[in-house]
Amino acid sequence: MKSRDLGLLALMATVGFVAVTVLPEGSHAGEMWPTGLAAGVLLLNARSRWAEIGLLVFLASVVAMTFAGRAPLMAGGWSLGITAGALVVAGVLTHRGTRTPRLRDNVDLARFFAAILAGSAVAGAFTGVTSLLLQGDRPGVLAVATVLAHLNGYAVILPFFMAVARHRANSSRIERALQASALAGVMLLVFGLFGDKPLMAFLVVPVLSWCALRNSMRVTLLQLLAFGGSAAGLTLAGIGPFAGVERLSHHFDIVMLALHLFVLACVVSSLPSAVAVAMQRDVSHAASVERDRLHSLVGSTRGIAIIGTDADGLINLFNPGAEQQLGYRAGEVLGKSPSMFHRQEEFERLAELLGTEATHRAVAFVLREPEHAGTEVEFVNKDGDLRMHTMTLARIIDADGNVAGHVSTAEDVTERVQAHTTLTEALETERQAVDRLRQVDQLKDIFVSSVSHELRTPITSILGYLEILGDGGFGPVNSAQTNALTRVAGNSERLLSLIDDLLLLSQVQDGVLETKSADCDLGAVVLAAANVVAPACETTGKAFGIDVPSTPSPFTGDRAQLERAVINLLSNAVKFTQAGGRIDVALRSDADAAIISVRDTGVGIPRDEQAQVFKRFFRSSVAFEMAIQGSGLGLSITQAIAVSHNGHVEFESNPGEGSVFRLVFPQRVYDAHAHGHANAG
């Protein structure tokens, strides 16, 4: 048990002892028992300790009353009432699990009155029943007096144990001095001059209400306590209007009843006002905190222009961001219309965009709709420069639902818009350049293709004449001449093959690579190609291996093109393999796929160049270094042929060790071709 709690209970017992002692002879009830202290000690402790505290409240009360002269049985019954009442009050106040109940709003106030009413009623019942059992005097009056006395005992003390508003007084010092003198004056009138007129006592009520409305909650509570105490003291001393009641009723219980009613009236008239004022102060405090926060936010926002207008559309807010972006000081624009920041041309542009009239009012009316948030609006700053802002306009609606003004937030995006325009223009220029290049490229392709066509005829003719010459058709030729003729023929054939490559490639690029599909045997294709390169292998001293299945490998495709593809791979293998190396061509044809592989032990392709192997005109650095002739067209043609047969070319190459190139015709495609073959067969 804390000494604080023990002290409070001792205080209760002492005040209670005095209150009972000072009651005049023959009076039984209605003493100013400080019930609020008992309930207060309960509120200070957890519920688990209430039984223990309740017992102490009971014992302290019994002892105080017995010492003050009450019969022990009566003291016991009444103390039970005090204890039970305090437990009920504390129980109702904390029934939501709150340890320190609040007295801050109307709901708290209602619960407070309900709690003290319930507690006082319980105590009243105990007192009444005790008096009835002990054949006491007038148990009904006793019960009512107890209820009222306890109500006051709670009302003026218990709020000190609750969480009340902590706002400061509204009143100035002068006002407080006036209040004190008014209160003293009224007390003097009520308890002095009009001592024989009990109703005049209620003159105190308006003065107390005045104090409650203007003072802090704590001061109001202290006033009530002081006022209740002094009213009771004066009355007990036989002074004032209530003492006069005794002369009328000849019974002091009635005096105390009147006094308690009076104090209660004062409590009921001041406590709710004090709570209402506290609530209002709370709300207005929150609102002013919010307003200050908003002000500092608006004031500290520099990158964003915030402009507010009142209900008449005149500027009443111009934040530093707006000053910075538009160049005006707030003082120069307050009270003016924001239309000063726009040109008529801009209203016309926006009016067309938003489908409204070209006036500031009409445009603003549409712009404030949420879907137009972030619209780009042109502003004219103080220097007359045109700036582009993205602007969002919103209405301010007051508590009655009327439009109290507007607020616009805008961000200067001039630079961003300019950058965007420049970028768009640059992209357009680039697109045009690409278009021109594409046209040039097309022209070049057309040129290459037509030139190749034109070249083919004379070269074929040259080759024809060379053959006739070589055969001695135009007279005998000696060995030196034959030698020269052979060289000319060789070079002419290379020229013809280059021209054929160029022609085929231009067909590929135009997407018109014509394949004359027919049934063929892939084995035969490989053998024919091998025959073409075999002599070159032999003359340059390279071993040549051929591995083709003995049974036909049916395929549907363009035989000539397939042969050409295999020849390309084989002639590369021959070209890029040094004397003493080996070249192998093989065909694997089964239900899964047909694969023609060409393997060599040549120079290979440097790894960092391998990704470009199928690009037109690609020639590896090794090919250049070793001055190996070629056009760089063979592989792209081979790839195009494979693709036109729904296949592809793949390769692996190890620099210095050799390469393997594969023409792969996948199963599905191969099956389809095989089927075609079967059907055709």
Binding site for ligand ADP (CB under 6 A): 568, 572-573, 576, 600, 602-605, 613, 618-620, 623, 630-635, 659
Q: Which is nearer to ligand ADP, 12 or 505 (CB)?
A: 505
Q: Taking the complex as a whole, how short is the minimal distance between the CB of residue 548 and ligand ADP, in angstroms?
A: 20
Nearest to 340 by CA among 356, 326, 354: 326
Q: Which is nearer to ligand ADP, 338 or 634 (CB)?
A: 634
Q: Which is nearer to ligand ADP, 520 or 637 (CB)?
A: 637
Any idea of the CA torsion for 369, 374, 378, 382, to the nearest 10 degrees?
A: 100
3-state secondary structure at position 66: helix
User: Alpha helix locations (H) across 319-413?
Assistant: 320-326, 330-333, 344-354, 360-367
HEC per residue, 303-331: CCEEEEEECCCCEEEECHHHHHHHCCCHH
Q: Which is nearer to ligand ADP, 447 or 617 (CB)?
A: 617
Q: Is 35:154 a contact under the CB 8 Å cutoff? A: yes
Q: Is 251:140 a contact under the CB 8 Å cutoff? A: no
Q: Taking the complex as a whole, how short is the minimal distance between the CB of residue 470 and ligand ADP, in angstroms?
A: 27
Q: Which is nearer to ligand ADP, 566 or 605 (CB)?
A: 605
d(CA 398, CA 361): 20
d(CA 219, CA 227): 12
Q: Taking the complex as a whole, how short is the minimal distance between the CB of residue 525 and ligand ADP, in angstroms?
A: 18
State the residue for tokens 């003198």.
Answer: 181
Q: Taking the complex as a whole, how short is the minimal distance between the CB of residue 603 and ligand ADP, in angstroms?
A: 5
Q: Taking the complex as a whole, how short is the minimal distance between the CB of residue 597 and ligand ADP, in angstroms?
A: 12
Q: Which is nearer to ligand ADP, 523 or 602 (CB)?
A: 602
Nearest to 255 by CA among 12, 16, 21, 26: 26
Nearest to 663 by CA among 575, 610, 603, 587: 587
Q: Taking the complex as a whole, how short is the minimal distance between the CB of residue 376 and ligand ADP, in angstroms?
A: 55
Q: Which is nearer to ligand ADP, 131 or 572 (CB)?
A: 572
Q: Which is nearer to ligand ADP, 61 or 653 (CB)?
A: 653
Q: Taking the complex as a whole, how short is the minimal distance between the CB of residue 582 and ligand ADP, in angstroms?
A: 12
Q: Which is nearer to ligand ADP, 441 or 657 (CB)?
A: 657
Q: Taking the complex as a whole, how short is the minimal distance between the CB of residue 588 and ligand ADP, in angstroms?
A: 19
d(CA 211, CA 200): 19
Q: Taking the complex as a whole, how short is the minimal distance between the CB of residue 452 and ligand ADP, in angstroms?
A: 16
DSSP string of 260-309, one letter each residue? HHHHHHHHHHHHHHHHHHHHHHHHHHHHHHHHHHHHHHHHH--SSEEEEE
Q: Taking the complex as a whole, how short is the minimal distance between the CB of residue 617 and ligand ADP, in angstroms?
A: 8
Q: Which is nearer to ligand ADP, 156 or 603 (CB)?
A: 603
- Tokens read off for 389: 């802002």
Nearest to 650 by CA among 635, 628, 634: 635
Angle of CA points 123, 126, 129, to nearest 5° = 145
